[in-house]
């Protein structure tokens, strides 16, 4: 079932999201949180992938306050420079309001059975961590989130399931940052950490520079099992 762009029409002003439905047409909801390249072909493909696994996926345009409709890639220096500028200009706290709103909009859609999770990559991986801590999401997953080590206190009262995938050779999450994350969360009751030896940032980005098929498949399998368990 092909995905489509929809309007989050109870927001002011309105902003858009990409919606992809499972073959059955209904299921648990999953808000997909973008990388720094916008709701591009990679993010849409991720939505379609998790829709095929049974989730009603919803990828909001988190850069809409800066420039609506960003869809760039990691294939040129100019696009990379634009992406990092967008990252620098992005207001995380305002964005968390957008994510909370997207969760509630998805929860109320007729295709959604009521439970909603979140999954994010890179910037979205950090936002998935914050989503677990700040919103009503029933379960969250973050892939190589950047900046989590600076917000560990956000999880002080976290009582909802969270899974974090950590790339051992992530140039944006260096070893000391990874050590701080492990020290804070290894014994946490509701947080699960998975490390990927030898992997670099964005190892799950299909056709990306550091894509690793085996590690991506392992992370995705773990993610689907985790989400099915907690969103069923």
Question: Across the strands, what pairs with 202?
Answer: none
Closest alpha carbon to 148 in 169, 168, 123: 123
Q: What share of the chain is helix, strand, coil (3-state, %, to 5)?
A: 40, 20, 40
Please answer whether residues 193 and 167 qualify as being in contact, where contact means their C-beta atoms are separated by less than 8 angstroms: no
Please answer whether residues 62 and 87 qualify as being in contact, where contact means their C-beta atoms are separated by less than 8 angstroms: no
Catalytic site residues?
Answer: 170, 201
Buried residues in 6-30 as b, exposed as e (16+ CB within 10 A) = eebeebeeebbbbbbbbeeeebbbb
DSSP conformation letters of 165-184: EEETT-TTS-HHHHHHHHHH
Closest alpha carbon to 43 in 91, 83, 101: 83
Tokens for 4?
Answer: 């489509």
Please answer whether residues 117 and 231 qualify as being in contact, where contact means their C-beta atoms are separated by less than 8 angstroms: yes
Q: Using alpha carbons only, how large is the chain's radius of gyration in Å?
A: 16
How far apart, in whole angstroms, are the C-alpha atoms of residue 8 and residue 13? 9
Please answer whether residues 164 and 152 qualify as being in contact, where contact means their C-beta atoms are separated by less than 8 angstroms: no
């Amino acid at each position: 079932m092909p995905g489509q762009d929809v309007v989050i029409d109870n927001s002011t002003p309105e902003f858009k999201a990409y919606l992809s439905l499972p073959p059955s047409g209904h299921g648990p909801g999953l808000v997909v949180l973008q990388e720094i390249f916008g709701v591009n072909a990679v993010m849409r493909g991720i939505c379609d992938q998790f829709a095929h696994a049974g989730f009603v996926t919803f990828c909001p345009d988190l850069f809409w306050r800066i420039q609506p409709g960003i869809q760039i890639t990691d294939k040129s220096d100019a696009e990379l420079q634009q992406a990092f500028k967008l990252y620098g200009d992005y207001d995380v706290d305002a964005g968390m309001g957008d994510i909370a709103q997207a969760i509630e909009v998805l929860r109320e859609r007729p295709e959604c059975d009521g439970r909603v999770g979140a999954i994010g990559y890179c910037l979205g991986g950090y936002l998935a961590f914050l989503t677990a801590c700040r919103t009503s999401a029933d379960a969250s997953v973050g892939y190589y989130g950047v900046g989590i080590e600076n917000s560990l206190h956000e999880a002080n009262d976290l009582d909802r399931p969270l899974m974090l995938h950590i790339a051992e050779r992530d140039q944006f999450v260096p070893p000391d940052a990874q050590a701080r994350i492990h020290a804070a969360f290894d014994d946490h009751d509701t947080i699960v950490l998975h490390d990927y030896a030898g992997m670099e940032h964005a190892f799950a980005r299909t056709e990306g520079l550091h894509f690793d098929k085996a590690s991506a498949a392992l992370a995705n399998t773990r993610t689907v099992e985790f989400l099915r368990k907690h969103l069923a």
